[in-house]
Chains A and B, each alone.
Chain A
């Protein structure tokens, strides 16, 4: 595709538009409506994951020969779906999208055998849990210098050692892609199945994302065959950038739900005889919220469209992510502020969004657009 001939355009394609309508309705009915209950329970709603299978998102990037739709890799479609699902609920969106992220990763960087493996397990009528495992415990995580190591053995297999954190589904995962640094200093991914020996998991407890099952994982002399290693041309920079735009998309959707909630609230809540939204101190917070969401959205879309067109998207993905972390949290805290004391109670969802939006800063490598 000669990218230079394309016009500037913000209209989603017809297929994308149709998918959006379905996903948005799903987010309203199956997610937003039960998000608070799931947060309180600290667990995904019964049967929720199975319902996400009907959206068919996992099938899109998988070639027809492997049982998919063969729509190709579309970071733009992914970003739109991530935004729309996050508008329902961020925790549930991440859970639903974690297997798709594994598929995207393996379609981009996996061997043909790995692509067949993930297609078999994840393109299914059942929901199969799967996750990417990049994050490591502690302060000062550096994706370019992982503490988890992969040592090449004499027989061609690898010995993995280290610790991971925020691994979705943990022991339930049918497939985990674990990232480690090799002795040569390069970062590599390894496709592990749920049966791999030498893994131990422990459930983690966070201030937000409470319905999402997150685990720490210790790898102790975990032996994986050479065939588990992603292709030699695995590109950690591209991987991280696709992850950054996914985080940005989650921020857009979640922040949009904050705005959607505070607008009617400030219009109905009266103080000193009139709606509080008649006052600029309140109204300007709402205006800035709307402006920054629009900006975050355009940044996420631009990063995705650059990726889709094969352009270098490192810079915009980085900036989109930064912006999302900064303004995502600002909108989270302003959402609570606008509701005053009521916003601090668990009667309203704004405190939940406040807790969830803080996670944007540490979602590196959890989802992949």
Chain B
């Protein structure tokens, strides 16, 4: 039965997280934006343990989905939770240890012994390199087997939480000649000799979240730290499939990143409406086109964009929960939400004029923070490319 409202259980968590965002994150927003990682938000670390989030589908739910039952599982909960926390602050959300982008990749494949050895996970994900961004198959970092260790060499940039995380999941190639299929991910605990954080970026937004450059110089990790299957697929078909498996992670993570834009946009709209209310302007959602002011017209448009992006995100997550192939929808949600979050936040600054532009309020910060969501986890243009290939039935060599 078609229903696009959230079930009570998720709705309850949502209101709880809204309170956490309002009372826990918002009061720290400006402080850590200004501090720009000179200090880390220590007060958050204890709080974040209470959140205990994870995007994995419990086995029972996967079974129910296979039987054709409707599931509202981890993916739906996660997008809703991400949006709520990003309503509070995207930068601080990224600084929460439980959010480590590499966490899911590790917990999916780590053995119980490894989990015990590695301890509490706060794993950053190191994919991008100076010469390879959206084209993640073009990375040059290498991993060479030497005895019982892999030896890693290369440079990683734009590693979210790369500085303060406890582990880094590094993407590296076992054999540069073998292309995509040879790309594997490796867990490197912080303090491993040969891995150095060489630089922390100064950014337009999400300043409370650190973005690091990491250099790997003959960095040795045990063989078992290779996450997943260590074999390089033999046939061209199997190679394609293997990299497909790597890329599939994005089908789950893209809606979650898209959800960040949903939360941020809501925050910008809520604050804008609050400021306007003080001036006596309120939306009533019943006006005809010919009766509304230009300002109202803008606000209605932003609300429409927001709601649309939100539903696209919920759908992509719901499909993942129900075992439906969602690559196209995941990219649709990321393309639309990334664009929407940026558009909404910038327009809210314009609507509120000098007050919006001023550091006296958070609207200018939302506008700065919003841009990155349209970029990381695949730029808007990469998402358009993926959607286009699927809609048009094109391969990546036909539609480049």
Contacts and interface: CB of A to CB of B under 8 A. Distances in A.
Contact of B385 (A10, A240, A280, A314): A280
A139 B7 CA distance: 44
B311 A318 contact: no
A287 B335 contact: yes
Nearest to A362: B289
A143 B290 CA distance: 10
A291 B301 contact: no
B391 A288 contact: no
Interface in A260-311: 263, 266-267, 275, 277-278, 280, 283-284, 286-288, 290-292, 294-296, 298-299, 301-302, 304-306, 309, 311
Nearest to B289: A361
B60 interface: no
Contacts of A361: 289
B1 A295 contact: no
B2 A284 contact: no
Interface string B321-340: 00000001100100110000
A361 B288 CA distance: 10
A322 interface: yes
B332 A290 contact: yes
Contacts of B11: 4
Contacts of A296: 308
A192 interface: no
Question: Does more than half of chain A's interface fall in helix, strand or loop, or is it mixed?
Answer: helix
A4 B10 CA distance: 10
Contact of B286 (A139, A292, A302, A318): A318
The interface size bin for chain B is 35 or more
Interface in B272-314: 285-286, 288-291, 300-301, 303-305, 307-309, 311-312, 314
Contacts of B311: 295, 298-299, 302
Nearest to B308: A295
A104 interface: no
A12 B2 contact: yes
A8 B7 contact: yes
B70 interface: yes
B318 interface: yes
A316 interface: yes
Contacts of B253: none
Given A143-B288, A298-B311, A299-B308, A284 B7 contact: no
Interface string B357-391: 00000000000000000000000010011011101
Given A140-B290, A142-B290, A286 B391 contact: yes
A265 to B, nearest CB: 11
A315 B284 CA distance: 8
B300 A8 contact: no
A291 B312 contact: yes
Nearest to B389: A283
Contact of A8 (B72, B285, B301, B399): B72
Given A5-B8, A286-B391, A323 B76 contact: no
B113 interface: no
B329 A294 contact: yes
Nearest to A139: B290
Contacts of B400: 278, 280
B6 interface: yes
A6 interface: yes
Interface in A1-60: 3-13, 16
Given A142-B291, A263-B391, A8 B286 contact: no
B4 interface: yes
Contact of A10 (B7, B8, B315, B381): B315
Interface string A327-343: 00000000000000000
Interface in A205-240: 237, 240
A314 B284 CA distance: 9
B5 A305 contact: yes
7 contacts: A4-B11, A5-B7, A8-B5, A10-B315, A291-B387, A292-B308, A318-B286
What are the 8 tightest A-B residue pairs by CB atom distance, in nearest-first order? A283-B388, A298-B311, A295-B308, A302-B4, A287-B387, A287-B388, A4-B8, A319-B304
Interface of A: 3-13, 16, 76, 139-144, 237, 240, 259, 263, 266-267, 275, 277-278, 280, 283-284, 286-288, 290-292, 294-296, 298-299, 301-302, 304-306, 309, 311, 314-316, 318-320, 322-323, 326, 361, 364
Given A141-B290, A294-B315, A314-B285, 5 more contacts: A142-B288, A287-B384, A306-B5, A319-B300, A326-B304
